[in-house]
Amino acid sequence: ETGVTQTPRHLVMGMTNKKSLKCEQHLGHNAMYWYKQSAKKPLELMFVYNFKEQTENNSVPSRFSPECPNSSHLFLHLHTLQPEDSALYLCASSQGNTDTQYFGPGTRLTVL
Amino acid sequence: TQLLEQSPQFLSIQEGENLTVYCNSSSVFSSLQWYRQEPGEGPVLLVTVVTGGEVKKLKRLTFQFGDARKDSSLHITAAQPGDTGLYLCAFDSPQQNTGTASKLTFGTGTRLQVTL
């Protein structure tokens, strides 16, 4: 089974919509991450969760709201986004601070 | 703020050619990682270099960590269309508070296209 899965793979939403991105890891890892990859900036870390607790918020606007109900699932709730939020949103997981991060395929988000 | 600058930004070559891409910074790192991201996929770790001057080989890919541990290079010999993708270098900052999750900072990336 694929290690890290993300749904949906593609999402188009209006600025007033509310949507959620889902990530699931089947690797038994304890840490999960959200990254944003846009055309004009390097891949950047958004949030880190370790054993379901958020340990990093990289100055992300409040219109992005993460949720980690357990070590295997991670959500990113989206509301009142801006067109500049259009990007590839990647989820990753790892066992610990010396272990490799495994990335999902990403959700391609377009905000109209 | 530690930044990783990668060059070139874009590279289009024909099958069979050799190429080198670079990852540079003014900061010293304990280690650097190289990833390849293929279209429609997430990045996949290729290698981690740890020791200054270290050279690691992965089939036709040769990775080198600078002696001062501020820069790294990736050389591909006899490139193939399957090498097409975005090559990213990154450094890892283990989180101080928890000690059990990492924090990757990525470079600007080199987009490679290998044509027949």
The pLDDT value recorded for residue A98 is: 65
The pLDDT value recorded for residue B19 is: 98
| pLDDT per residue as tens, chain A (112 positions) | 579 999 999 999 999 899 999 999 999 999 999 999 998 888 999 999 988 888 888 889 999 999 999 999 999 999 999 999 999 999 999 987 667 899 999 999 999 9
The pLDDT value recorded for residue A97 is: 64
The pLDDT value recorded for residue B53 is: 94
Position B104 confidence tier, pLDDT thresholds 50, 70, 90: confident
The pLDDT value recorded for residue B1 is: 60
The more confidently predicted of residues B99 and A110 is A110
Q: Which ranges constitute the DSSP H helices of B1-116?
A: none
The pLDDT value recorded for residue A53 is: 87
Side-chain half-sphere exposure of B26, counting CA atoms within 13 A: 3
- The answer to whether A57 contacts chain B (CB < 8 Å) is no
Q: Mean pLDDT over residues B68-72, rounded?
A: 94
Sheet with A18-25, edge to edge strand ranges: A4-7, A18-25, A73-79, A64-70
Q: For residue A84, what is the DSSP state?
A: G
Chain-chain contact of B101 with A50 (C-beta, under 8 angstroms):
yes
Kindly tell me the sign of the dihedral angle through the C-alpha atoms of B49, B50, B54, B59.
negative
A96 vs B contacts (CB less than 8 Å): 100-102
Residues A11, A24: contact at Cβ < 8 Å? Answer: no
pLDDT at B9 over 80: yes
Kindly tell me the sign of the dihedral angle through the C-alpha atoms of B47, A35, A112, A10.
positive
Which residues, numbered 52 to 81 in chain B, qualify as contacts with chain A under a Cβ-Cβ cut-off of 8 Å?
none
Structure tokens at A10: 């593609």
The pLDDT value recorded for residue A56 is: 84
Chain-chain contact of A97 with B107 (C-beta, under 8 angstroms):
no
Side-chain half-sphere exposure of A8, counting CA atoms within 13 A: 9
Residues B115, B12: contact at Cβ < 8 Å? Answer: yes
- The answer to whether A44 contacts chain B (CB < 8 Å) is yes
CA distance B114 to B26: 30
pLDDT at B2 over 80: no
The more confidently predicted of residues A24 and B30 is A24
Chain-chain contact of B45 with A56 (C-beta, under 8 angstroms):
no
Residue A67: CB atoms within 10 Å: 15
pLDDT at B95 over 80: no
